[in-house]
Amino acid sequence: MSEVLIHTHGPVGHISLNRPKAIHALTLSMCEAMIEALVKWRDDPAIEAVIVDHAEGRGFCAGGDVTLLRNSALEDGGASGRHFFEVEYHLNHLMFTFPKPIVAFMDGITMGGGVGISQPAKYRVVTENTKYAMPETGIGLICDVGGGWYLSRLPGQIGKFAGLTGARLDGAECLWAGLATHYLPADVLAEAKAKIVENPSAIESVLDALSADAPDPRLAGNKERIDTLFAAESLTDIITALEADGGEWAMKELKTLRTKSPQACELVLRQLREGAACETFADNMRMEYRAAGRAIMLPDFAEGVRALLVDKTGDPKWQPATPEEIDPAAVDAVFAPLPADKEWSPL
């Protein structure tokens, strides 16, 4: 069974993720197949638009192949992990710069790598089933696949909050934050896709006509707290602000933050600063390639994947264990330029 179903419906290309037991987490071969299709459709005048969705199951895409990345860190010095990032980021950048409209249907779980293949789309459709997150700090990794670009451009400190805590946003919150363009009931998605195939020049009006009023976004009620308590540039200062606040919401987020890799949190803070300063998406992906390829070689990544996904004990032993122990030079080293022939570049 193919892990990604690729076909055309007249003038519309259709990519449907088909790895339901893994909630469609992206493998290297899936990324390669998607790139091949998109390059072909980019240059085919008969193709006017592209739909990206999932074939079945409870989520759009749960992320990337972290088992491959962990094995790479433990077995081949990170070489196959870096190759995976190179190809995945080629896909992310190809979608970001694609000259024809892409419609991503983010129905259900949309995390990590799933964010990377939905955020570049011109139209990003969420539903009442959407659960969106960048949970990488829980496994000792940065919020890659373009997180440095997307999260740093969200309103106020929402991106920093989401990147550090791995907060799960529902469809209404995604729409409110600008991560989605349309909120549709899940039971009209098939109709939306059929109408897009009928008339790909009318995507926006099709989605507008089928959109529903989203519930009030809970996140909006906490925006003032988020903007105040996550304003600092260091993890230590954010923790201090949460402790000083002492309220129920602050204590809940503090408890969550303390389960994350302190080093990964500092790396994400740096990543968002770097991403905000990038002039192009390619610059951002070059920065993330350096950082992600090095982050998987740090102790926290293998340990985080072990505790959360392999042994499922939920008890990672982070190194260093506290923000105060983090060496700023170690953070600098993760983001340092690579030799010219090792740097990432777009297709």
> Domain boundaries in the chain?
4-342
Q: Which of 59, 63, 64, 112 is catalytic?
A: 64
Residue segments in the chain with a per-residue pLDDT below the cut of 50: none
pLDDT tens for residues 204-256? Answer: 999 999 999 999 999 999 999 999 999 999 999 999 999 999 999 999 999 99
Q: Using an 8 Å Cβ cutoff, are 181 and 207 in contact?
A: yes
Closest CA to 49 of 82, 9, 86, 109: 9
Q: SS3 for 105?
A: strand
Q: What would you measure as the largest C-alpha separation in the chain, in angstroms?
A: 60
Whether 43 sits among the annotated catalytic residues: the reply is no
Neighbour tally for 94: CB within 10 Å: 17
- Residue whose C-alpha is closest to residue 238's, from 251, 260, 261, 254: 254
What pLDDT score was predicted for residue 58? 82
48, 53, 144, 288: which one is catalytic? 144
Of residues 71, 91, 88, 72, the one with CA closest to residue 80: 72
Residue 294 and residue 63: Cα distance in Å, rounded? 19
pTM reported for the whole predicted model:
0.97
pLDDT reported for residue 111 = 97
How much is the CA Rg of the chain, to the nearest whole Å? 20
CB neighbours (10 Å) of residue 153?
A: 13
From 88, 107, 136, 253, active-site residue: 136
Among 113, 114, 116, 275, the active-site one is 113
Say whether 156 is catalytic.
Answer: no
Q: Give, in words, the CATH class of 4-342.
A: alpha beta
148 flagged as catalytic: no
Strands (E), the chain: 4-9, 12-17, 49-54, 59-61, 102-106, 109-111, 123-126, 131-133, 169-170, 182-183
